[in-house]
């Protein structure tokens, strides 16, 4: 039961026309009400009338200092959600109990809905008034969406929560814009998109929303695939796998579908020997062009970037390309069985390589050496020093 003497935050909303009646009743007799700056005259009158008192404008960072037992804050206007969240965070840190109207978690839901609706209005405004946004098509936005997803993946990989927060906003805007384009073609809108995915999630999680049983992640995934086949009419083992996926993700997706019908190794250890098998076949294919990868020593740096005759031959040899593909496919399979996303693992490896080569060049430069001009053996020396520095820095 809430303590009537505790400070209260009452959700009013962005506009007087949609203020909840229960929230206005909760303001009765509140006296002075703390409100965000910049409220419309209509909202100010509505809150003052309901509270039977006057309003005092506060900034988010000073609201907690002005709260006393029984005082009241109105989360009203466009700045209402920010004020409410700042106040709740500060109160939690200070150990101060704050009541909300409506009670949690519905109060938080109201804040989210208001901010999502505000983003929808911004999106509509941009589409109607901005010369650039007016000419965008779904195909244009998809390309930007892919870029934003990769930027989000980088932020998550780096563990940068602030950057992740910003990139999530960029991704969310892409969804809003695509939903608006869908609405323009009378094929749905943001609300129908949300409702459709809600129905799908409920349908595919009967162990949560019905009486089915699935106690492990594997059981959940198996039921998910069965529902797609049985209830949603999807046919074939590889139904609805987009061929436009990046190759590593495409391979993993197909392997997962094959696993659903039992065509899979039991463990990553069982799948691992396939890598050695494919490696040997690739070595044999390359040996036909005068290369023996297992035994060749590193070649000396070439004066020209022009490919060697053997490289030209291999480039046009479908057998070599075939074996390289098989080797990559085997590595993806082991990664999948180990529960590792091969796309993210490779991106991490590329970033490590980039970082270490840059450090190696810096180490060489510090000794008056042009790293790009020395032989491979000396380059490798600096590269190993860069790796050692990195490991020592992680301790």
Q: Which of 170, 201, 232 is the last residue of a domain?
A: 201
User: Which residues, 6+ apart, have CB-to-CB distance to 213 below 8 Å?
Assistant: 207, 219
Q: Are residues 327 and 354 in the same domain?
A: no
CA distances from 369 to 365, 372, 390 (A): 5, 9, 21
pTM (two decimals): 0.71
The whole-number pLDDT of residue 67 equals 65
Q: What is the pLDDT of residue 138?
A: 94
d(CA 27, CA 9): 10
Compute CA distances 312 → 288, 308, 348, 363, 380, whole Å.
Answer: 13, 6, 30, 35, 26
| 352, part of any domain | yes
pLDDT of residue 143: 86
- Coil/strand/helix, residue 34: strand
Residue 129 within any structural domain of the chain: no
Mean pLDDT for each consecutive 10-residue tract of the chain (395 residues)?
A: 69 94 92 90 94 85 64 92 90 86 96 96 97 94 90 88 96 97 96 95 89 83 74 72 86 88 89 94 86 51 59 79 94 93 88 93 94 92 93 78
Retrieve residue 61's tokens.
């960072």
CA distance 273 to 259: 18
Residues 17 and 72 in one domain: yes
Domain that holds residue 380: 344-393
Neighbours of 368 (CB within 10 A): 6
Task: Cite the DSSP H helix spans in 159-271.
Answer: 161-184, 190-204, 206-209, 217-230, 247-260, 268-271
Q: Do 148 and 56 lie in a common domain?
A: no
Measured CA to CA in angstroms, residue 195 lies from 215, 232, 292 at distances of: 27, 17, 58
Flag whether 233 is in a domain.
Answer: no
Q: Select from 255, 293, 250, 288 the least CA-distant residue to 271.
A: 255
pLDDT, tens digit, 9 for 90 and up, residues 351-379: 899 999 999 999 999 999 999 999 999 99
The count of structural domains within the chain is 4
Element (H, E) at 328: helix 318-337
Same domain, 18 and 97: yes
Task: Report the chain's C-alpha Rg in angstroms.
Answer: 30
Check whether residue 310 and residue 261 sit in a common domain: yes
DSSP code string of 256-320:
HHHHHTT-S-SSHHHHTHHHHHHHHHHHHHHHTTT--TTTPPPPPPPSS-SPPHHHHHHHT-HHH
Q: Is residue 232 part of a domain?
A: no
Q: Which residues contact 18 (CB under 8 A, 6 or more apart)?
A: none
User: Is 251 inside any structural domain?
Assistant: yes
Same domain, 56 and 104: yes
Q: Let me know whether 22 and 96 are in one domain.
A: yes
CA pair distance 146, 152, nearest whole angstrom: 10
The C-alpha atoms of residue 273 and residue 281 are separated, in whole angstroms, by: 13
Q: What pLDDT shows up at residue 68?
A: 59
Residues 13 and 107 in one domain: yes
Structural domain contains residue 219: no
pLDDT (tens digit, 9 = 90+) per residue, 148-170? 998 998 898 888 999 999 999 99
- 325 with 354, same domain: the answer is no
Distance of alpha carbon 81 from alpha carbon 74, whole angstroms: 10
Question: Is 240 part of a structural domain of the chain?
Answer: no
User: For residue 233, with 0-12 CB atoms within 10 Å meaning exposed, 13-18 middle and 19 or more buried, which class applies?
Assistant: exposed
Judged by phi (left if over 0) then psi (alpha if -120 to 50, else beta), residue 38 lies in left
The answer to whether residues 23 and 89 belong to one domain is yes
Question: For position 116, what pLDDT does the model report?
Answer: 96
Instruction: State the DSSP string of 369-392.
Output: --GGGS-HHHHHHHHHHHHHHHHH
CATH code of the domain containing 37: 3.40.1010.10
Write down the pLDDT at residue 232. 66
């Amino acid at each position: 039961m809430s303590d009537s003497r505790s400070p209260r935050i009452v959700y009013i909303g962005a506009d007087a026309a949609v203020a909840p009646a229960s929230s206005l009743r909760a303001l009765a007799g509140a006296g002075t009400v703390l409100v965000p700056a910049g409220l419309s005259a209509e909202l100010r009158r509505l809150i003052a009338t309901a509270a039977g008192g006057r309003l005092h404008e506060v900034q988010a960072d000073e609201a907690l200092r002005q709260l006393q037992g029984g005082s009241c804050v109105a989360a009203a206007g466009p700045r209402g959600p920010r004020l409410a969240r700042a106040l709740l965070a500060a109160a939690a840190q200070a150990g101060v109990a704050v009541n909300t109207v409506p009670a949690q978690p519905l109060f938080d839901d109201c804040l989210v809905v208001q901010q999502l609706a505000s983003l929808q209005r911004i999106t509509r405004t941009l589409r109607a008034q901005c010369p650039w946004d007016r000419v965008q098509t779904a195909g244009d936005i998809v390309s930007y969406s892919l870029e934003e997803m990769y930027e989000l993946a980088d932020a998550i990989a780096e563990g940068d929560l602030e950057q992740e927060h910003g990139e999530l906003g960029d991704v969310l805007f892409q969804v809003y814009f695509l939903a608006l384009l869908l609405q323009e073609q009378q094929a749905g809108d943001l609300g129908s998109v949300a409702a459709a995915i809600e129905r799908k999630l409920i349908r595919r999680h009967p162990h949560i929303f019905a009486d089915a049983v699935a106690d492990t992640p594997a059981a959940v995934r198996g039921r998910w695939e069965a529902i797609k086949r049985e209830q949603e009419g999807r046919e074939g083992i590889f139904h609805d796998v987009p061929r436009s996926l990046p190759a590593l993700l495409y391979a993993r997706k197909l392997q997962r579908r094959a696993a659903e019908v039992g065509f899979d190794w039991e463990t990553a250890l069982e799948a691992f020997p396939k890598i050695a098998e494919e490696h040997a076949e690739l070595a044999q294919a390359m040996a036909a062009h005068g290369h023996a990868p297992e035994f060749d020593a590193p070649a000396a740096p070439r004066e020209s970037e022009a490919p060697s005759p053997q490289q030209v031959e291999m480039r046009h040899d479908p057998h070599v390309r075939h074996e390289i593909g098989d080797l990559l496919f085997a590595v993806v399979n082991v990664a999948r069985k180990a529960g590792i996303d091969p796309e993210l693992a490779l991106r991490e490896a590329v970033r490590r390589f980039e970082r270490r080569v840059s450090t190696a060049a810096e180490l060489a430069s510090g000794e008056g050496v042009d790293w790009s001009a020395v032989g491979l053996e000396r380059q490798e020396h600096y590269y190993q020093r860069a790796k050692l520095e990195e490991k020592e820095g992680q301790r």
